[in-house]
Amino acid sequence: MAKLTDKGVRWIIDQIRMGELSIRQIAKHQDVTSRRIRQIRQLYLQGGEIPQLKWHTPIPKPSDPTEVKLIKKAKIKYKVGATSLEHIIEKKEGKHIPHNRIHRILKEENLAEEQPNKQKRRKWVRYERKHSNSMWHTDWTELENGKQIIIFEDDASRMGICWGEFDEATTENSLIVLKKGIKKHGKPRSILTGRDTQFFMSEREGITNGKTEFQRFLEEQGIRHIVGRVNHPQTNGKQERLFGTVKRHYDDFAGLDELMHWYNEIRPHMSLDWDNLETPSQAFIRKMHHKDRRFRGAKK
């Protein structure tokens, strides 16, 4: 059964005036009952004007202290929005709380605010590699305290592979972090970076300036270097979203290591197996190619 709109009511009155369609035909066209059409006709005959629909704003259900406690606990642990919390609470606690009510309670507890940018339609289409270690993303970003951080992120699983916090964003520091990641998780088949000088030596005015130590290291290791397009930040969009998460929650943790443990091991990622609340570290194992599984088993 459809919900009538003011436009629909005007159409109904027009049909009643013309008298070409029966009450039953009008009701069928609007997907409402014949009784509803008779009510609208009666209102029109009594007032002589097209009836205006009255929209009643529902009175919010009083907050249940048990729900409030459950929502606050989940919010503090997972640090995600109302839509994600609805799913997590239902999966973990077996209790369904509509996300609208969760958001209202979070606002009442000063744990949420309106984010209009989330309502904007995204124009990009998500693409990801099939297997873990097929490609890592990386970049540098600056925190409010002036520290520079670098994170290598696995494209298929969204797992933070390795990371570091430094006073300066340099090629040397980039390689320190990358070598730790390779030692722990094996070599990726490719690495995607921007055209920053820590990673890439560009050619200007037809003169070849050579290669950075980062580029030479990748060549020695047989790792393909994929360089992002000029003025196209979407190329490394997943990395930017990870940095956004890190910056939002940096002060919630004792340090970057603790934050990345939460990101990899505790917080389910909506881009993964959301029905099973999969974390990036779980996805990294699930999506691993069978050859890499053997490598990982041999290392242990």
* DSSP, residue by residue, 210-229: ---HHHHHHHHHT-EEEEPP
Specify the pTM: 0.69
Residue 92, pLDDT score: 92
Question: Mean pLDDT throughout 199-215?
Answer: 71
**pLDDT > 70: what percent of the chain?**
82
Rounded-to-integer distance, Cα 270 and Cα 108, Å:
25
DSSP 272: S
Which stretches of 52-93 are DSSP H helices? 65-78, 82-93
Rounded-to-integer distance, Cα 197 and Cα 129, Å:
26
Element (H, E) at 241: helix 237-249
pLDDT at 216 over 90: yes
Q: Which residue did the predictor score with more confidence, 232 or 95?
A: 95
Mean pLDDT taken over the chain: 85
pLDDT interval class at 138 (50, 70, 90): very high
Rounded-to-integer distance, Cα 232 and Cα 26, Å:
53
Asked if 102 and 68 count as a contact pair (C-beta separation under 8 A), the reply is no
Please tell me the least confidently modeled range out of 6-15, 70-79, 161-170.
6-15
Question: Mean pLDDT throughout 269-297?
Answer: 82
Asked if 247 and 143 count as a contact pair (C-beta separation under 8 A), the reply is yes
At 22, which amino acid appears?
S
